[in-house]
A and B are shown apart, each in its own frame.
Chain A
């Protein structure tokens, strides 16, 4: 997993609530057995017509936002299916950070496993960031994970919360499995006890 430390990039405004993972990556693209290559189908049904033509109005098709690395969105981003293909598609397109008023739990968790930083901000801050994002490609947003700040193109800075363990893993690009395997003795011991207490499990 790539580290996430700081990021300065274009933010795409997506002022919709309930952007679900079926929208982010429709089911026909879940048949891959790889993690890579999904970026071309990110938001497929919003981005392309049925015969594959770009829909010019869609934000990521607009010249100013084609290189977006950040998405600003409404409530409950990433709701629905647990498909990790959603963060894989975002990452493959080049999105490293999503800022919204709230996230669905599984999607939120999946982001951290892939080097994407999801940031929860209150509505008034999201409103400011959305307005800033609407200025286009010259308005670059800066995210500093160590300092836990988001700074708009005109220098307004906002703090955000992030779980300390997840922050540590993102900053260092750490693999969870490796960390957990260091606790193998604790797992062995738990299993031995559980085999006595709940032998049917």
Chain B
């Protein structure tokens, strides 16, 4: 009888290739996702040392950060020279090293963290890495997934392993059910609001509880996606029937006898009763409100019914940081969050660019028009999400509401492509970071759920989506 283990312990144990005396482990990596921005130097490193990609069949590449999302992007002139060079480098590296590749022209192209699960590359119990901090997304499947730097990308390409020390176990339980108008995004932001952006540093988080179980796979991906914003490298959710149903039939999911064997194994992937937790955080699902961020850190989270805080409401180093945020965001302490006028709405990103997110936004927008003067865009997370949204009639709802209906990519989440905020431009965004300059130099970002962003598009200011839902009843 082995000691009770957490889900993280189990996945870790099953991937240890070698354990050194000091506890440093060599961990096997099942899936390596690659994009154009953090990989060129890694491939160059392989060439310089005459090394190869050890497991090209477990390596999947897709350009997403740089690519334009306008409908004319097939025209190379829409990309800047340096972006074009970076995407061309990925084209060449994928070909030269024989790795799986979804080029810009492929309908399956999209944000790497949306494409992985969609194509069945991400499966329960796997280790998944990518040179991108939002790799935590894949933890929604009960896979141990985290971001790595470019040196580690090169290490994984060459060896299919990573040198790691085990993190600590943290349990985040969301009890009960969510109230109407509250979504996965509100859960994940509320957790960060409660623990702070460094609260998870050194931990792997397992999200559990009734409210998590009740989420769809899309919602679970949203929750895990922002584990990194709480400082945790990885977030995990134990796989269940919803997970298996999502995976079944995906292009790279197992079939037949292998599927049966896989499901039998996946059913062992849960935290045992009596397993040790280094930290436990519990929130009541009923207490979670639709939230927005007011500042320049994802921990600056408040219920939409709240008011802008003053720097003096904080302590320690956060006093200065809060004042800096207020100045940057151009906000006055004490003002109602719902009085904050916005210029732009961005719906998309690896946090909220999946079909369920588009459905939630479209439900609020249906038959209505955005406020005059607001710039609004929807950027689906992948070409397949886009196609599905068109089939379901969601695209037409967005177009009728005055939104731009874009092609797939990271877009304005990090503004590496032409989709950027101008200085002072204020954006209701469904993305994951409200850092200074994140969406464009001087741009002001308020993070929220897709439904809340849609509500803001209709009124022109931050809005409690529940009020619009009441109107609809």
Contact = CB atoms under 8 A, between A and B. Distances in A.
Contact of B148 (A23, A106, A114): A106
B441 A50 contact: yes
B17 interface: yes
B28 A187 contact: yes
Contacts of A45: 436-437, 441
Interface in B40-60: 40-41, 44, 49, 51, 54
B239 to A, nearest CB: 14
Interface string A73-90: 011100111111001000
> Interface residue tally of chain A, by bracket?
35 or more
A89 to B, nearest CB: 13
Interface in A108-166: 109-110, 113-114, 163-165
Nearest to B318: A17
B441 A110 contact: no
A22 B198 contact: no
A31 B441 contact: no
A76 B202 CA distance: 12
A177 to B, nearest CB: 5
Interface residues of B, number: 79
A166 to B, nearest CB: 9
B163 A180 contact: yes
A55 interface: no
A18 interface: yes
Contacts of A76: 197-198, 201, 231
Contact of B133 (A26, A30, A80, A163): A80
Given A22-B433, A187-B160, A106 B30 contact: no
Contact of A31 (B66, B154, B316, B324): B66
B296 to A, nearest CB: 8
B262 A200 contact: yes
Nearest to B300: A18
B316 to A, nearest CB: 8
Interface stretch (B83-91, B181-189, B271-279, B400-408): B83-91
Interface string B325-359: 00000000000000000000000000000000000
Contacts of B297: 18
A15 B22 contact: no
Looking at B133, B151, B318, B441, the one whose CB has the most chain A CB atoms below 10 A away is: B151
B324 A16 contact: yes
Contacts of A197: 14
Contact of B435 (A80, A177, A201): A80
Looking at B85, B123, B147, the one whose CB has the most chain A CB atoms below 10 A away is: B147
A105 B202 contact: yes
A55 B123 CA distance: 49
Contacts of A34: 41, 44
Interface string B11-42: 00010011010101010101000000110110
- Sorted nearest first, the 3 A-B pairs with minimum C-beta distance are A200-B254, A113-B151, A110-B149
Given A84-B151, A87-B149, A187-B26, 6 more contacts: A23-B437, A31-B82, A74-B317, A82-B131, A187-B17, A201-B126
5 contacts: A17-B316, A27-B416, A113-B149, A180-B155, A181-B158
Interface of A: 15-18, 20, 22-23, 26-28, 30-35, 45, 50, 74-76, 79-84, 87, 102-106, 109-110, 113-114, 163-165, 176-177, 180-181, 183-184, 186-187, 190-191, 194, 197-201
